Structure 1
Amino acid sequence: MLSIVVPCFNEQEALPYFVKEMEEIGSSISHSIEYIFVNDGSKDNTLESLRELHQKMPNRVRYISFSRNFGKESALYAGLQAASGDLITLMDADLQDPPDLLPQMIERIETSDVDCVGTRRQDRRGEPAIRSFFARLFYKLVNKFGDTEMVDGARDFRLMTRPMVDSILSMTEYNRFSKGIFSWVGFNTEYISYENRERVAGNSSWSFWSLFKYSIGGIVNFSDAPLTLAAFIGSISCIAAIIALIFIVIRALLFGDPTSGWPSLVSIVLFMGGLQLLFLGIIGKYIGKIFLETKKRPIYIIKETEKDLKKER
């Protein structure tokens, strides 16, 4: 069986297009298919659309609806937990992940020693320039300073074997960053490149600010480089301050103690104060992650599934 996990947040407009195209592609796949849609606290009629899909295809369409918006990472985790297939794929409902790649991905995973076939964009055409710049910067930073390599342009759209999915599910951390987790668990992975596609309908829920916070979380979750950098710059600043202090004392002994230099002194104080606040923020980010992990809160809360719909009937 092939399990197709689809996280949904306000995807009412895109769902009909997605299901139609997937059904066309499904006819060329020898595997039986189950859809697992995860409604991540949508504000539109996504849940009603999922109920209708389940009624039309009760043996193939399953859905999970959260009590609120928990984020895409939680939706992916819930979908993987619910998947029962031997092969599991993650896809977005907006058709930016090309379904026509699935037959090629299945063939590749069944005819070679590969545990995962991922996808990556060849370029970032159609994406705002500032967003593309920071995306490339993120991958450069995380690969340079982190212990886990992440492929630039890689999508969540990937086909995985059951052992790999079980390994991912064994990582029950609250602060999740799937791109890093996919790489961290290992397994043989190959990538297929494709040209960037626009959404088939609706609007993206990812703003620049939300992507920025997501990237910061990825760096913090899979690298302690920011802490190392803070300690390094702090050490350099201390050494520079000691050298400056020695210089000032010697100058005062030889030439007296002039009263000039207040602007430069204030600038230095403000600069050092800014550095301290920056480093406290970095440390605070790590402490915050630890704080959330120690609470042992659930990654998501389910409000409704297709089983509840059957009970109502």
Structure 2
Amino acid sequence: MLSIIVPCYNEEESIPYFLEEVNKVKSKLHHELEFIFINDGSQDNTLEVLRQMHQRYPSELRYISFSRNFGKEAALYAGLQAAKGDLVTVMDADLQDPPDLLPEMVRLIETENYDCIGTRRADREGEPVVRSFFARAFYKIVNKIGETEMVDGARDFRLMTRQMVDAILELTEYNRFSKGIFSWVGFDTKYISYENRERVAGETSWSFWKLFKYSIDGIINFSDAPLNIASFIGAISCFGSGIALLFIIVRALLFGDPTSGWPSLVSILLFVGGLQLLCLGIIGKYIGKIFLETKKRPQFIVKETEKNVKREI
């Protein structure tokens, strides 16, 4: 069996197109298919569409609907927990993850003994220049300061063996960053490239600010380098302040204590205060992550599944 996990947020227009495209390559897969759609608190008619699609494909299509929007990471985790297949793939409903790659991905796993076949975009054509710049910068930074290598342009779209999926599910942390988790668990992985594709319908929910916060979470979840930087800044500031204090004392002893210099003194105080706030902010970010982990809150809350429909269609 091949399980296809599809997180959805306001994807009512994309879902029928997605199923149509997957069914086109179904004959080439030679596997029983299992669709698991995760409705992540959509504000449109995504849930109604999933109910209808389940009526059309009762033996193949399952869905899980959250009580509210918990985020894509929670949706991925819920899908991986629910998947029953020997092979499991994660795909977006907007067809930016091309289903026509699935037969080749299955072939590579079954004939070349890979544990995971990942995908990456060959280029960022069609993406805003600023977003592309920051995306490349993120991968460069996280690969330099972190111990887990992340492939530039890698998508969540990947085909995994049951063994790899079970290993991922053993990581029950609340603060999840799937791209890092996929790399952290290891296993033999091969990446295949494809040209960037536009959404088939609807609009993306990922704004620049959401992506920026997501990247910060990725850095914090897989590296303690920011804490080391904060410590380094504190040590340099302390050393610099000591040198400056020694200079002022020597100057006062040799030439007296001039009254000028208040603007520079205030500037130095503001600069040092800013560094302290920066370091406290970095530390606070890590403490906040610890706080969320210790609460032991669930990753998501399920409101409805295909077995427990809340309303009649």
SS in 1 for 2:102: helix
Post-superposition shift, 1:295? 0.4
The equivalent residue for 1:98 is 98
SS in 2 for 1:309: coil
The 2-side partners of 1:286 and 1:85 are apart by: 36
SS in 2 for 1:191: strand
The 1-side partners of 2:311 and 2:258 are apart by: 86
The 2-side partners of 1:181 and 1:227 are apart by: 21
Asked if 1:204 corresponds to 2:204, the answer is: yes
Q: CA 1:8–1:191 in structure 2 vs 1: closer, same or farther (change >3 Å)?
A: same
The equivalent residue for 2:290 is 290
SS in 1 for 2:308: helix
Can you give the 5+ residue segments of structure 2 that lack an aligned partner in the other structure? none
Answer yes or no: is the 8 Å Cα contact 2:304–2:310 preserved in 1: no
TM-score by length of 2: 0.98
Answer yes or no: is the 8 Å Cα contact 2:9–2:39 preserved in 1: yes
Post-superposition shift, 1:113? 2.1
Post-superposition shift, 1:309? 2.9
Post-superposition shift, 1:54? 0.2
Q: CA 1:44–1:286 in structure 2 vs 1: closer, same or farther (change >3 Å)?
A: same
Q: CA 1:270–1:308 in structure 2 vs 1: closer, same or farther (change >3 Å)?
A: same
Post-superposition shift, 1:27? 2.0
SS in 1 for 2:38: strand
The 1-side partners of 2:248 and 2:309 are apart by: 78
SS in 1 for 2:29: coil
The equivalent residue for 2:161 is 161
Q: Which amino acid aligns with 1:209?
A: W
The 1-side partners of 2:261 and 2:182 are apart by: 55
Moved over 4 A (4+): 310-313
The equivalent residue for 1:22 is 22
Post-superposition shift, 1:265? 1.0
The equivalent residue for 1:302 is 302
Larger mean Cα displacement after TM superposition, 49-58 or 260-269: 260-269
Asked if 1:113 corresponds to 2:118, the answer is: no
Asked if 1:185 corresponds to 2:185, the answer is: yes
The 1-side partners of 2:266 and 2:90 are apart by: 54
Q: Which amino acid aligns with 2:53?
A: L
Identity %: 74
SS in 2 for 1:257: coil
The equivalent residue for 1:260 is 260
Within a 5 Å distance, the mapping from 1:1-313 to structure 2 comes to 1-309=1-309
Any idea what the Cα deviations from partners look like across 1:139-174, whole Å, max 9, x if unmatched? 111100001110000000000000000000010100
The 2-side partners of 1:262 and 1:310 are apart by: 70
SS in 2 for 1:203: coil
The 2-side partners of 1:248 and 1:196 are apart by: 60
Q: Which amino acid aligns with 2:83?
A: A
SS in 1 for 2:69: coil
SS in 1 for 2:270: helix
SS in 2 for 1:93: coil
Q: Which amino acid aligns with 1:279?
A: C
The 1-side partners of 2:84 and 2:310 are apart by: 20
SS in 2 for 1:28: helix
The 2-side partners of 1:43 and 1:124 are apart by: 29
Post-superposition shift, 1:233? 1.2
TM-score by length of 1: 0.98
Q: Which amino acid aligns with 2:149?
A: E
Q: How many residues align?
A: 313
